[in-house]
Amino acid sequence: MYSESHCHLGDMTYDDLIDAEKKGFTLLLTAGIDLPSSEQALETAHRHPIAKACIGVHPWYADEFNNSVRNEFLGLAEDEDCVAISEIGLDFMGRMTHEWVREETFIDPKIQYETLDAQLGLARELSLPVLVHDRAPKMDMLDLLERSGNTNTGIAIHGFSKDLDYARRCVDNGIFLSIGLRTIQSAEVGFIKALKETPLEYLLTETDSSKPEGVHTVCKLIADVKGLTQEEVGRVATENLMRLIS
């Protein structure tokens, strides 16, 4: 049993989703990065029960969030296939443009904080969990999340890449850590230590891509670090994800 806490399936077809199901996937959370892709995530979710949608404005496009987008999101969230607010967060390390060009500049931090705050509020109002993109310095995001009240409606850090102190603070607050393919393959010492020490009950799996099968590798690598089997990691991570969105 396998799951994606964070992928971008685009307009993946029914046949592609059946194929994912055959590879052991029971739950795929496909995330929007703006309004059109959030609408698309819901369309994908309607094609097959294993796909569920997350709606949100990515910090790379934080200046596109406004009251009219918020109202559209309120409408989209009425759909039972909308299970979380994502992808939201902070990124002070650069951005990808809509044309997928890497830029060293990023959206004005004041705007990023305002957009994040508004979307955290939306999640609380809708009693939905959030999956958070954290490319802010040190513990800034956790300081903010602890104050936000969103710990009551569920939080996961997507693409976790920080250290043991950060991971411990997440566990203390009931925040899940989602482990992605690129980070685990980088095998950075501080990250691996955090992964080793964090109870499996707080881990999720993701590829942040349109190819869910990469989760098999993520589970295998987590299993190697923790002395477990790939299947056990896949099953517990899926149960954790179900708990987050229930």
Q: How many residues belong to the site for Zn ion (CB under 5 A)?
A: 2
Task: Give min distance, CB of 72 to Zn ion, in A.
Answer: 20
Alpha-carbon dihedral 71, 55, 203, 112, rounded to 10 degrees: -70
- Identity of the residue, 24 or 59, whose beta carbon is nearer to Zn ion in the bound complex: 59
In the structure encoding, which two tokens stand for residue 88, read together? 């939201």
Task: Give min distance, CB of 204 to Zn ion, in A.
Answer: 13
- Identity of the residue, 16 or 87, whose beta carbon is nearer to Zn ion in the bound complex: 87
In the structure encoding, which two tokens stand for residue 101, read together? 């060009």
Looking at 124-132, 135-143, 188-196, 201-209, which segment touches Zn ion (CB under 5 A)? 201-209
In the structure encoding, which two tokens stand for residue 221, read together? 């690598």
| Cβ neighbour number for residue 117 with a 10 Å cutoff | 13
Gap between the Cα atoms of 241 and 218, Å rounded: 15
Start-end of H helices in the chain: 14-22, 35-47, 67-76, 109-126, 140-148, 164-172, 181-186, 189-197, 214-226, 230-245
Task: Give min distance, CB of 229 to Zn ion, in A.
Answer: 28
- Identity of the residue, 4 or 87, whose beta carbon is nearer to Zn ion in the bound complex: 87
CA angle 96, 100, 103 (to 5 degrees): 40
Looking at 38-46, 168-176, 204-212, 215-223, which segment touches Zn ion (CB under 5 A)? 204-212
Task: Give min distance, CB of 31 to Zn ion, in A.
Answer: 6
DSSP class of 19: H
CA angle 67, 64, 118 (to 5 degrees): 50
Task: Give min distance, CB of 4 to Zn ion, in A.
Answer: 11
Gap between the Cα atoms of 55 and 34, Å rounded: 8
Task: Give min distance, CB of 6 to Zn ion, in A.
Answer: 6
Cβ–Cβ under 8 Å, residues 55 and 88: no
With binding defined as CB under 5 A, does residue 206 bind Zn ion?
Answer: no
Site for Zn ion in 87-146 (CB under 5 A): 87
Beta bridge partners, 204, equal 178
- Encoded one letter per residue, x for contact with Zn ion by CB under 5 A and - for no contact, window 61-90 reads --------------------------x---
- Identity of the residue, 4 or 208, whose beta carbon is nearer to Zn ion in the bound complex: 208
| Cβ neighbour number for residue 190 with a 10 Å cutoff | 14
Binder of Zn ion out of 208, 221, 234, 237 (CB under 5 A): 208
Q: Going by C-beta distance under 8 Å and a sequence separation of 6 or more, which residues neighbour residue 68?
A: none
- Identity of the residue, 87 or 91, whose beta carbon is nearer to Zn ion in the bound complex: 87
- Identity of the residue, 87 or 134, whose beta carbon is nearer to Zn ion in the bound complex: 87
- Identity of the residue, 43 or 231, whose beta carbon is nearer to Zn ion in the bound complex: 43
The residue ranges that bind Zn ion (CB under 5 A) are: 87, 208
